[in-house]
Amino acid sequence: MMQDTFRHKGLRKKLVEEIKAKGIKNPKVLEAIGKVPRHLFMDSSFLEFAYQDKAFPIGSGQTISQPYTVAFQTELLKPNENEKVLEIGTGSGYQACVLLETGARVYSVERQKKLFDKASRLLPGIGYRPKLFYGDGYAGLPTFAPFDKILITASVSKIPQALLSQLNTGGTLVAPVGSENIQVMQSICKSGPEEYEIQHHGTFRFVPMLSNTAND
């Protein structure tokens, strides 16, 4: 089992200062980034990069998002204690753990079996217990709906209607929306049963959200 050492904690403190300097303000979010041992989510060959503010490969053609991006999306969600949050795209599980550290009850869906299996093994071993599901995020989790917040961590050309319908009134959905090459971060507040207020928050580049489940 890999350790979370004094050195790792020091590097994490620096990372928190870095994303703070880049504009992240919410103390809960900064605290969460300061707590989750990101190096344990990466392959050993990338360990030295764990506390740089960069995205890195996690296998199966996927990446662990840049810490700034994780913090930015989490801040847009305006997390509150005990809220039910649905994440689409578990990937390494890092974002799910950051959400747990903000006090959320986390449900996360991943379409790639290998990544789902890996996260399902890793997370409980380091003390994190989000509810993880192997499935197609386009369908959401109707059995567990409604959610207070929904976070999509892959890019979409438009917000899936199924997800909007699983959002509580007063809830917020955050997602990068656009083409495969560039997306605009949107935060969508569900102000009424069929009413949405959309805000735009700059451009990003995520891997695309794909349909159906995969075993590769």
Task: Name the residues annotated as catalytic.
Answer: 65
36 binds ligand SAH (CB under 6 A): no
Q: Which of 37, 89, 140, 176 binds ligand SAH (CB under 6 A)?
A: 89
CB 208, min distance to ligand SAH, A: 7
Sign of CA pseudo-dihedral 62, 68, 70, 76: negative
107 binds ligand SAH (CB under 6 A): no
Task: Give 64 or 159: the residue with its C-beta nearer to ligand SAH.
Answer: 64
State the residue number with the nearest CB to ligand SAH.
89
d(CA 9, CA 39) in angstroms, rounded, equals 10
Backbone angles phi, psi at 61, to 5 degrees: 70, 15
115 binds ligand SAH (CB under 6 A): yes
The burial class, CB within 10 Å (0-12 / 13-18 / 19+), for 143 is exposed
Q: Which of 42, 71, 109, 141 binds ligand SAH (CB under 6 A)?
A: 109
Backbone angles phi, psi at 20, to 5 degrees: -65, -45
- To which residue do tokens 């890793």 refer? 122
Q: Are 32 and 74 in contact (CB under 8 A)?
A: yes
Task: Give 68 or 138: the residue with its C-beta nearer to ligand SAH.
Answer: 138
**DSSP 3-state of 108:** strand
Instruction: Count the residues in the chain.
Output: 216
85 binds ligand SAH (CB under 6 A): no
- Find residue 77's DSSP bridge partners: none
- To which residue do tokens 């959905």 refer? 173
Task: Give 171 or 176: the residue with its C-beta nearer to ligand SAH.
Answer: 176
110 binds ligand SAH (CB under 6 A): yes
166 binds ligand SAH (CB under 6 A): no
CB 200, min distance to ligand SAH, A: 21
**Sites of contact with ligand SAH (CB under 6 A):** 62-65, 88-89, 91-92, 94-95, 109-112, 115, 136-138, 153-154, 207, 209-210
